[in-house]
Amino acid sequence: MYVTGPSAFMTPAVSFKQVSRHFGSVKAVDAVDLDIAEGEFFAMLGPSGSGKTTCLRLIAGFEQPTSGRIEIFGSRAEGVPPYRRNVNTVFQDYALFPHLNVLDNVSYGLMVKGIGKAERHREAEAALELVKLPGYGARRPGQLSGGQRQRVALARALVNRPKVLLLDEPLGALDLKLRENMQEELKSLQKSLGITFVFVTHDQGEALSMANRIAVFNNGRIMQVGSPEDIYQRPDTRFVADFVGSSNVLPPDFVARHGGARRWASLRPEAVRIAEGAAGALAATVVSRSYLGGATRLGLDVEGQRINALLPAGHALPGEGQSVQIGFAPGDLHLMDDAQ
C-alpha cells in the first residue's frame, strides 16, 4: 500500500538527507532531500543532466555521495557495495549476456549467490512466468524482440526478490505502442508485488501515467515532489510548469490584466477555448496549427504573449493567420513562485 507523502510513513524505503554528488566542479546532485515510501511507485523526472540518473546510481551503490546521508530501509548505505544492498537495477540497454540463454541470464544473480542449478532454474522459470515469457528459457537474447529483452531484464532483477527495484529509463528503446503496453504492465506488476519501484525517465507522459509520486529534477536539485495531479495541475515553479505538459507560463503583468494576482502563473493548453463573442474574450491571432490526431494544438499571439491551446479534434478550427477570440476561466490560472 503506497502513501502520498513522506510524513505518512515511518521508515522510508529510500531516504536522501542533504545528498550531493560532485564531479570536479560539476554538481550532478546538489543537497537533495527525499523520502520514498515502501511499496511506492516513485518516478524521478527531468531533462538530461538534471541529476535523476545519478540519484538512481547512488541508491544502487554504483556512485558514492560526496556529502550527505543515504538510507535504505533505515540502514546507512554509503560505502555499502551494490551486491550487499537489497536493490536491483533494470538498465536502459538491458545488459543481457549474449552468450547465455534466457534462463541462465535470469538466474545469473542466483548463481553468483551460490544457489544450485535446479533451484535457480525453478526460480528463473517462475520469474519468466511473472513477466509473461513462459517457455522462453532456451532462447538467446539475440532471438528476442526489444520488448521481450526488456521483460528478461526485468525477470533477472525480480528473481533476486529485491526490496527496491530501480528502473533506468527501461522503456526508452521501445516503439510507442509497445512502450504504452509496458507502462500498464509495469504498473500492474508493481501493484501485485508491492515492492518499491524507483523509475527514472525524461518522459513526462511515462511519469504521469505510472507513478504514485514524482520528483522533478533540474540542475541537480529537486524542483517539486508530489502526486501526478499536483505536478501537472499545480506546478510550483516556471520550470515545472513548462517541463511537465508544456504549460503556458504567463508573466505577472499579463496575469494581473486578466483576473489574477501580479505573479507568474501556469495555464494549461487544454484550459484555453475558442470564445467568439463571449464576455471578456481576448483577441488572438493564430500563428501555428498542429494536428495531433485526437486534438489540434494552436499557437496564438495574445497581446504579444504566446499562448498554446489544445482543442479536441473534429471541430472547425481557424487556420494560421486568422484572428480569433479566446477565453479561459480565472480558476484555471495557477499562481506560482517567481523562482525558475
Four-residue CA torsion sign, 179, 183, 186, 192: negative
What is the rounded CA–CA span in Å between residue 335 and residue 238?
A: 10
Which pLDDT tens digit goes with each residue over 39-60?
Answer: 999 999 999 999 999 999 999 9
Helix orientation angle between 176-193 and 146-158, rounded to the nearest 10 degrees: 20
CA dihedral 6, 9, 14, 15 (to 10 degrees): 50
> In 3D, which of 152, 245, 157, 249 has the Cα closest to residue 207?
245
pTM: 0.88
User: CATH number of 6-242: 2.40.128.110, 3.40.50.300, 3.30.1330.10, 2.30.30.240?
Assistant: 3.40.50.300
Give me the DSSP letters along 93-132.
Answer: T----TTS-HHHHHTHHHHHTT--HHHHHHHHHHHHHHTT
pLDDT at 2: 33
pLDDT at 173: 66
CATH of span 246-335: 2.40.50.140
Q: How far is CA 294 from CA 34, 98, 204, 223, 298, in A?
A: 37, 41, 19, 31, 13
Please state the domain extents for the chain.
Answer: 6-242, 246-335
Domains 6-242 and 246-335 share a fold: no
pLDDT at 245: 80
Give the chain's residues under pLDDT 70. Answer: 1-9, 173, 339-340
pLDDT at 1: 30
What is the rounded CA–CA span in Å between residue 228 and residue 141?
A: 35
pLDDT at 23: 95
pLDDT at 140: 94
Give me the DSSP letters along 267-319.
Answer: E-GGG-EE-TT-TT-EEEEEEEEEE-SSEEEEEEEETTEEEEEEEETTS----
What is the rounded CA–CA span in Å between residue 273 and residue 38?
A: 42
